[in-house]
Amino acid sequence: MRIDIYTNSDSHDCETCGASWAQGGKVFIDGKLIVDLPAVAHCYGASSYNEDELLVIALKEIGVNVFVDGDNYHVTCHNDYYHGKSK
Ligand SMILES: [Zn+2]
């Protein structure tokens, strides 16, 4: 089995918040597109995934669950740190 991860990034400028930046990408397993999460930088609701998270998401798509210290691998969105968890 071969897993290919292709990352991309996006940036967004806001007068209120300043610049934000997001990561995303695609994951192919044996040449088949499994995960397609293009980077979308935005003030709120931005989705950002590093290559580790992309890999974990892809593994889950094929039925492999990844645990860290007994808990599900936590896929974070780094803009939560910037804007807080409130929605
Ligand atoms: Zn903003």
Ligand 1: distance of its center to the CA of 29 in Å? 36
Ligand 1: distance of its center to the CA of 43 in Å? 4
The pLDDT of residue 81: 30
The pLDDT of residue 72: 84
Q: How far from 46 is each of 6, 7, 24, 31, 33, CA to CA, in Å?
A: 19, 16, 11, 28, 22
The pLDDT of residue 82: 29
The pLDDT of residue 45: 64
Ligand 1: distance of its center to the CA of 39 in Å? 17
Per-residue pLDDT of the chain (87 residues; tens, 9 = 90+): 999 999 999 999 999 888 888 899 999 999 999 988 889 888 876 678 899 988 988 998 898 988 999 988 877 654 333 234 443
Ligand 1: distance of its center to the CA of 77 in Å? 16
Ligand 1: distance of its center to the CA of 40 in Å? 14
